[in-house]
């Protein structure tokens, strides 16, 4: 049965071996590929242009023997789909209508010919001369055509095919050159509801065309907020004058999902899944898309809708997806892509901070440096920004403020970092200030009465607190707010908190949540490590600072606010409280970027590599934590300081994310 689950529809683009001008032989190859598609539960399979006859038949297209054989082959394909392929198949062939010949796409489903779509634009330049044989769709005035025993079949470029039992799935069809036009038919189809655009192509191959074609398909899917399925003729077409490579492509909303290997000599079927939830969600969130259908971007005709029932299978839901689900959506794969992304992020951060510093002038700058990930990244950005503005780095003071949970290791790292970065340093032990404030509050941390205790005595008593009892929000908040108070009173505060911490509320209101400008606000935790390592290798290669930055990037993520006995394994772990950041960032990306349901988040996490590291129960546990914390901590995000948007996911209350602070998470948790 065709695969559809959680908005994911399985599709394929096919390139069959072609025997030029031999429809029966070509039909056999198409059937072989449809058998493979059926085994893989493919719901929509798109074949190349004129695949039943071959694209390179030349003047043979004017011969009735070839045209009749093509019709007979199509009839055989219909019979096959009636019993042995349950998805939608779209094939190409020549078709004579009212004394004219058309290059068409035939849409088949379960033994029915649903419609025939003629090509709108015919190339007639260089190696192409289709006007010699075919008429354009604009010349076709017949709305229905006969075929064998099928009765009247819808015919024309104004057809859309709605799969009624797959929400938000409407197929639009165009043929090769149509895509290369200033306003492709697929653009018109998209603004009139098509979400899956199918192109039957016979694009020839020359040096450099592959990249152009790939960009064209990908960009069209982005402009149309749609999936784009591009099936191309292969190397077994005639090579009298040109070569075909069989370059199949599937793109979605501006991203290339998969492509075939070119120049294969055997049948190829390239399979993936398209995400209809993502497509329709993006359209809903971008009202300018729907505006295009009403303001000047209209079709010369009204579209006719042909409906079908896919009768998809829900039993295959546990099957492994062909589509790769990236476990780290905020982090590019590796090599040049990752370097390019890190460079772009770092430039965005420095550009944002530079404008703010130009505005405020040469005021003293302050930044709390803990020796951890976020403050290190903020320090790197701040120093690069000062260099960019040709200001002395000593305008910035790095504050080291050890508290009751600080370790000697991180304090040493902080000192080394500040020294090598060339900024001013000021170390202030905040424990005595925090102790005095807790006394004024009448607070007894962990049940310890503070009367008569000094810092040394309290520190010793804290070491004896059992590990399972080290929970005291006031004790933590006093330290976080004391640090912020010192920074605020000393100058213009550069913030350090990242996007992931804001999503989970892992920050103290009016503490580390507050700054005067935060260059890290749009950077997720999973990307912070890579940014630090990138800066180390590209800005400080061969210097002692490079090694130090890599050491910092390897640290356990910790706020260091709770006391320890001094043992390394007792360092307060952030991820033990809020969950693994790689998992929470995965949920954050798909929840905010696409609005996916919790059930779909869990399903996608099972399809990523997370099932190798986390059980289903663990993934569900941390998703609950994510949802509870995300909803409960909106009040911290409602008054965020300024900071630059970095990626497609942002929590700025002035930009991407507006949410009431008292919204309920019940529906999501249920």
Phi, psi of 472 (to 5 degrees): -160, 100
* C-alpha–C-alpha distance, residues 389 and 82, integer Å: 70
- CA nearest to 650, candidates 307, 217, 352, 237: 352
**β-strands 112-118, 100-109: how paired?**
antiparallel
User: Could you confirm whether 119 is annotated as catalytic?
Assistant: yes
CB atoms within 10 A of CB 341: 19
* C-alpha–C-alpha distance, residues 253 and 220, integer Å: 8
User: Could you confirm whether 618 is annotated as catalytic?
Assistant: no
Annotated catalytic residue within 51, 169, 176, 224: 176
Beta strands in 370-466, from DSSP E residues, in sequence order:
396-400, 424-427
Question: DSSP for 306-358?
Answer: EEE----BSTTTTSPPSS---S-TTS--SHHHHHHHHHHHHHHHHHHHHHHHH
How far apart, in Å, do the first and last CA atoms of the chain sit? Answer: 30
CB atoms within 10 A of CB 25: 16
* C-alpha–C-alpha distance, residues 395 and 383, integer Å: 10
* C-alpha–C-alpha distance, residues 141 and 143, integer Å: 6
Phi, psi of 529 (to 5 degrees): -60, -45
* C-alpha–C-alpha distance, residues 149 and 170, integer Å: 27
Annotated catalytic residue within 49, 130, 252, 476: 49
- Residue 154 carries which DSSP code? E
Annotated catalytic residue within 36, 51, 57, 119: 119
Alpha helices, H only, 442-539: 455-463, 473-490, 499-504, 525-539
Q: Are 375 and 484 in contact (CB under 8 A)?
A: no
Q: Are 379 and 417 in contact (CB under 8 A)?
A: yes
- Residue 193 carries which DSSP code? T
CB atoms within 10 A of CB 321: 18
- CA nearest to 490, candidates 410, 408, 401: 401
User: Could you confirm whether 51 is annotated as catalytic?
Assistant: no
CA–chain centroid gap for 618, Å, is 24
Q: Are 91 and 74 in contact (CB under 8 A)?
A: yes
Strand partners, 8: 5, 275
Position of tokens 């590929």?
33
| Active site amino acids | 49, 119, 176
């Amino acid at each position: 049965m065709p695969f559809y689950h959680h908005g994911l529809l399985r599709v394929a683009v096919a390139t069959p071996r072609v025997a030029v001008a031999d429809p029966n032989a070509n039909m056999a190859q198409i059937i072989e590929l449809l058998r493979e598609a059926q085994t893989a539960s493919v719901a929509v399979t798109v074949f190349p242009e004129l695949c039943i006859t071959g694209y390179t038949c030349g003047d043979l297209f004017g011969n009735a023997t070839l045209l009749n054989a093509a019709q007979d082959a199509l009839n055989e394909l219909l019979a096959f789909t009636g019993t042995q392929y349950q998805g939608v198949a779209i094939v190409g062939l020549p078709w004579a209508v009212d004394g004219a010949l058309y290059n068409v796409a035939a849409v088949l489903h379960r033994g029915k010919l649903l419609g025939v779509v003629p090509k709108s634009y015919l190339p007639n330049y260089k190696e192409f001369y289709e006007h010699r044989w075919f008429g354009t769709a604009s010349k076709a005035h017949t709305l229905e055509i006969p075929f064998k025993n099928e009765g009247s079949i819808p015919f024309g470029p104004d057809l859309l095919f709605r799969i009624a039992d797959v929400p938000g799935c409407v197929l639009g069809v165009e043929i090769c050159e149509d895509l290369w036009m200033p306003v492709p038919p697929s653009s018109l189809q998209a603004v009139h509801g098509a979400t899956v655009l199918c192109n039957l192509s016979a694009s020839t191959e020359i040096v450099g065309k592959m990249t152009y074609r790939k960009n064209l398909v990908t960009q069209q899917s982005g402009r149309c907020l749609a999936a784009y399925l591009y099936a191309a003729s292969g190397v077994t077409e005639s090579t009298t004058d040109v070569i075909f490579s069989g370059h199949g492509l599937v793109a979605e909303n501006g991203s290339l999902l998969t492509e075939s290997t070119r120049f294969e000599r055997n049948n190829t079927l390239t399979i993936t899944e398209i995400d209809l939830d993502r497509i329709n969600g993006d359209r809903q969130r971008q009202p300018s898309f729907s505006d295009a259908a009403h303001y000047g971007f209209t079709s010369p005709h009204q579209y006719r809708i042909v409906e079908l029932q896919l009768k998809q299978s829900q039993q295959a839901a546990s099957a492994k997806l062909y589509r790769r689900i990236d476990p780290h959506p905020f982090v590019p794969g590796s090599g040049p892509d990752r370097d390019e992304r890190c460079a772009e992020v770092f430039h965005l951060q420095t550009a944002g901070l530079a404008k703010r510093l130009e505005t405020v002038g040469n005021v003293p700058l302050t930044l709390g440096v803990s020796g951890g990930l976020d403050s290190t990244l903020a320090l790197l950005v701040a120093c690069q920004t000062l260099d960019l503005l040709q200001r002395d780095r000593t305008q910035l003071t790095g504050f080291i403020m050890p508290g009751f949970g600080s370790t000697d290791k991180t304090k040493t790292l902080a000192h080394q970092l500040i020294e090598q970065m060339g900024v001013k340093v000021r170390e202030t032990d905040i424990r005595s200030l925090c102790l005095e404030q807790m006394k004024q509050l009448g607070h007894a941390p962990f049940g310890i009465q503070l009367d008569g205790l000094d810092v040394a005595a309290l520190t010793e008593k804290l070491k004896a607190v059992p590990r399972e009892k080290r929970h005291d929000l006031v004790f933590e908040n006093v330290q976080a707010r004391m640090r912020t108070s010192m920074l605020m009173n000393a100058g213009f505060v550069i913030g350090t908190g990242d996007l992931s911490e804001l999503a989970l509320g892992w920050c103290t209101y009016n503490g580390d949540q507050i700054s005067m400008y935060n260059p890290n606000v749009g950077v997720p935790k999973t990307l912070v490590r890579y940014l630090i390592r990138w800066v180390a290798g590209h800005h400080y290669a061969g210097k002692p600072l490079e090694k130090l930055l890599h050491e910092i990037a390897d640290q356990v993520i910790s706020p260091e606010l709770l006391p320890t006995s001094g043992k390394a394994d007792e360092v307060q772990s952030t991820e033990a409280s809020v969950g693994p950041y790689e998992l929470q960032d995965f949920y954050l990306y798909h929840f905010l970027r696409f609005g996916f349901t919790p059930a779909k988040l869990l399903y996608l996490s099972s399809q990523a590599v997370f099932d190798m590291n986390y059980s289903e129960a663990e993934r569900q546990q941390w998703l609950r934590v994510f949802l509870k914390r995300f909803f409960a901590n909106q009040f911290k995000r409602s008054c965020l300081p300024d900071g630059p948007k970095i990626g497609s996911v942002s929590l700025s209350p002035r930009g991407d994310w507006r949410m009431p602070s008292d919204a309920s998470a019940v529906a999501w948790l249920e």
